[in-house]
Chain A
Amino acid sequence: MDYGTLFFQLLMTGIFLSSLYVLMTFGLTLIFGVMEIVNFAHGSFAILGGYACLLTATKLGIDPFIALLPVTLFMAIVGFLTFRLFTRYTFDVGDAHVVHYYALLLIISNILALIFGLDYRFIQSPYGYEQLHLGTLKYPLIKIFVTALSLATVVGVSLFIRYSTTGKRIRAVSQSKESAEILGIDSLSVRQTAWVIGIASAGLMGALVGLVNPFSPYAGTTYLITAFTVAILGGMGSMFGTIIAGFIVGMTESLFSIILPSQITPVIAFIIIIVALTIRPEGLFSRS
């Protein structure tokens, strides 16, 4: 393999990984920014999305990419329900909320385990084995689709938050909840919207990953840790920081993947957290 091809592979894998990491972390950062909650169950919501897509695609016999639409809708509903039944009661708890959300993680993971069992599953798609050819270079088509969708979602949500009225209210509440309330903004409803977007994006991410990697009910933890790395690196609460950090982590992982076996990659993420927090405890673009 010559260097040109190697470089291309690394670049593409880096972008692929980065786009997924950013999508995953986006929801986490959005939720934290707006309501100061670290959603430890985020990974399990992602896995839920994965299983939802698997079910939809196999039971309805449709292309999993088309299934993504109803799956995202489903996850939005899940988000709505969890907010009304659970999340809004955890706002006053302070640091103790980590336990609540960890318990939520367990509930979701184990409901999935009971329904689907512990085996690793995979979402089959028609383009599973095709590659995109660019002259002599090639890369799996499905990863390209996944990358494109992840990036599109991230861009879409970012634009929404930047320019729409609801998006501006979300930013206002995350910058100063009290000032927003004084203006008459219903902060609970804004938080609900942010939560729903966060959960839906987590589910979408899980489905997208499921198209490329096998997953099981407990696999959420690995996604979670990487998401946390990106979130901390970028500064919890900063959407822009998430994007930058996501790319740093994704590219670094891609680079190291030639030297180290793939199971080790979370270790890299971990080392990155350690180094980052030692140098700059608030993260690269923290909200303070």
Chain B
Amino acid sequence: MPVEDKMAVRNIGQKKRRTDLVIIILGLVVLALPFLRFTTREYILSVLTFVFIYTTLGQSWNILGGFAKQFSLGHAAFFGLGAFFTAFGCHLGVPALASLVIAGILVALVSYPLGRICFSAKGPYFTIITLALAEIFRIIFLWRPELSGSEGMTLPVNFFSKNTNMYYLALIMAAGSILVAFLIGRSNLGLSLRSIGDDEDASAELGVSVLYAKSITLFMSAGMAALAGGTYGIFIQYLSPNDVFSIIYSLDAIFISIVGGAGLSFGPFIGALLFSILEETLNPLAPGAHLLFLGSILIAIMFLLPNGLLSLVYKTGTQTGPMAIRIVRKEKKEGSAPRVV
């Protein structure tokens, strides 16, 4: 039988249940946390800092992959670059915050020529190139001692070395990323991105400037990932190419974004929470155990709850969602009956 009409775009994000109050309370708790006194305070603050960093990383993937279906497997490249550029800045004597911001901007700028290369390739080619990119940076940084070599690089102690300041920095960054994603979602750019994600060729024919939309989104995405990377570097104060350029971060970004809810601005936060919980509980057990879980959960989510956990609460773009399995991708593909998840 005929599929129900797709939701109007502006309905995206409408709440299915009354969760506003919960969010506000949560928000206040999070803000006030450093001022509360309880025994595991340091540990919780530290974990939450990671959550915020991961949120930002996930968000950076989200705006490209969740909205426009440009699936990057190489966000670790931007994450790592942001980390190292921040480190270089600090070593040159530039204050940590400034280093971070400059690193973010630099990486965003670097993304432009990379985008030109990557975006000329469609679909899976884009993913392949981004994957290769992260690997290349890892190898180059590992190879050249000036860039850190295999010994890695430490960051000098700075204003943010105090846990509280770090916590708020990460918090602001995460909140900022959610805001950016939210604004994009509401804007014309967001509309363009969603239509590109739906059917790129049709969008181009309708007059959407595809290259511009993708490029500017990549710009923001790379910048965001770089900020996440830089913050990470400032936090743990030691960087190694095998760590920050590892494909693990690329996966993290994807996991966080999809499991939380791709295409929704709050999704990455939920995803980051789940991710951190998993990492903290499973990692001590065995190497790679938590990654195994991540992969399995990711697959399970994509088959069962394609719009992520948040779809239990919020309405998502279309009835069938961005990642849904049982969807007819192109309606002109004959021979498939429409089946709704």
Contacts and interface: CB of A to CB of B under 8 A. Distances in A.
> Do A's and B's CB atoms come within 8 Å in the complex?
yes
A100 B302 contact: yes
B131 A261 contact: no
Interface string B272-293: 0000000000000011110110
Interface stretch (A16-24, A245-253, A265-273): A265-273
A99 B298 contact: yes
B287 A261 contact: no
A118 B248 CA distance: 15
A69 interface: no
Contacts of A159: none
A96 B135 contact: no
A90 to B, nearest CB: 7
Nearest to B121: A277
Contacts of A113: 287-288, 291
Interface in B103-150: 117, 120-125, 127-129, 131-133, 135-136, 139-140, 142-143
7 contacts: A92-B328, A95-B69, A99-B254, A99-B258, A103-B296, A113-B288, A263-B142
B323 interface: yes
B101 interface: no
B55 to A, nearest CB: 19
Interface string B300-328: 00110000000000000000001111111
Nearest to A265: B139
Contacts of B323: 93, 96, 99
B143 A264 contact: yes
Given A40-B73, A99-B323, A225 B143 contact: no
B187 interface: no
Interface of A: 38, 40, 86, 89-90, 92-96, 98-100, 102-107, 109-111, 113-114, 117-118, 178, 181, 217-218, 221-222, 224-225, 228-229, 232, 236, 261, 263-264, 266-267, 269-270, 273-274, 277-278, 281
B209 interface: no
Contacts of B142: 263
A267 B139 CA distance: 8
B288 A225 contact: no
Given A38-B127, A106-B251, A225-B132, 17 more contacts: A94-B329, A100-B302, A102-B73, A104-B299, A106-B291, A107-B296, A118-B288, A178-B334, A178-B335, A221-B135, A225-B131, A228-B128, A270-B132, A270-B133, A274-B117, A274-B129, A277-B121
Contact of B120 (A225, A229, A277): A277
A105 B298 CA distance: 12
Contacts of A217: 288
Q: Which 5 A-B pairs have the closest CB atoms?
A: A106-B295, A113-B288, A110-B292, A94-B329, A110-B288
B139 A266 contact: yes
A114 B143 contact: no
B300 to A, nearest CB: 9
B247 interface: yes
A132 B233 CA distance: 51
B85 interface: no
